[in-house]
Structure 1
């Protein structure tokens, strides 16, 4: 384990382990994913967090965990230096909750609505990284793209797909996770905003 970012690796290991078990055991998957009737009628409020520990398939899991691995370590290091060891787990776990609540309330009366995956929290981590390193290159399908450009395209795509509602991906969680990541970091350390704006005006560093 990397002792400079222990919680990033803890979340990685826990998510991979539980997702693996849930993919193999549909009963476990059904118990941990977010399903509004189970929360409202059975009081299973833990689902508002455990949904982020399970994934639909290995591709879904791999994409989220690779993103968490590359960007979570920097954000954990930054938050730990500024606010202490527990800042990053607070950020990540609260991002799971905040990113899913808009979709949950929107579909609270829809018994067919189910969602799972760490995408909301991972989006929060990614966009916190974009605030700190807006011009660093992110490799999207092996194509280098500046982080800020990727962020703008990602937000536009998430808004568009969320309005269309034509697939099973929780684009709302992606969007609100991204917003939460930015807001959390600015509130926690307001100087980040001025640093980000200065960086935007100086792409060559």
Structure 2
């Protein structure tokens, strides 16, 4: 069966490739506060379908492929079977709201990439399987819950330091949305997470 995770990846790869070849397309889709102030609200979504380079795209889509397929079924009963797509798109939007509010008057601010949505998917997976192994750089095994703690601490510190082209704030808010939205949709996930957390298995 052709799943929604694969569909999102295909669309993202195609749009990213087109944007790399056509600067006008990139400029039209990228997150740019002054353009949003002019009413181009669609950029809250479209920025999540373009990427800075091939490594940026590969990392996000590689992560989405493995964890999206693992949790997609949880959202399938909602919104006529399109729950996962809506969850993913909302994550991209919500993850950028704090950055937008902070940079509304910043004409030099730009942001792109699916990291907000991917972070939501990753943290939703951690709720379901906190002790499953996540392979950092596809090599180093780390229990998912420990990865989540390290990821949050790193992102907070990196966001405070600044000086990076990475939108760490979007990562944090995307992850937070993934946790809150998943528990709101399926409250049984929370006691499942707590029970799993108290019963480590490797």
TM-score range, shorter chain: over 0.9
TM-score, scaled to structure 2? 0.96
- Is 1:129 equivalent to 2:121 in the alignment? no
Query: How far does the alpha carbon of each residue in 1:66-119 deviate from its partner, in whole angstroms, 9 at most, with x for none?
Result: 000000112211211577511111101110100000001100100010000000
- Take 2:69 and 2:113, find their aligned partners in 1: how far apart are those partners? 20
1:202 paired to 2:194: no
Structure 2: tracts of 5 or more residues without a match: none
1:68 to 2:32 alignment: no
Structure 1 residue runs of 5 or longer lacking an equivalent are none
For 2:182 and 2:59, how far apart are their aligned partners in 1? 23
Task: Write the distance in 2 (CA, Å) between the matches of 1:40 and 1:56.
Answer: 23
The match for 2:97 is 101
Post-superposition shift, 1:26? 1.5
**Deviation for aligned residue 1:27:** 1.5
- Say how many residue pairs are matched: 201
> SS at 2:27's partner residue?
helix
Alignment-derived partner of residue 77 in structure 1? 73
The alignment yields a C-alpha RMSD, in angstroms, of 1.3
CA displacement, residues 31-82 of structure 1 (integer Å, 9 cap, x when unaligned): 10000011112x1111110000000000000000000000011221121157
1:47 alignment partner in structure 2: 43
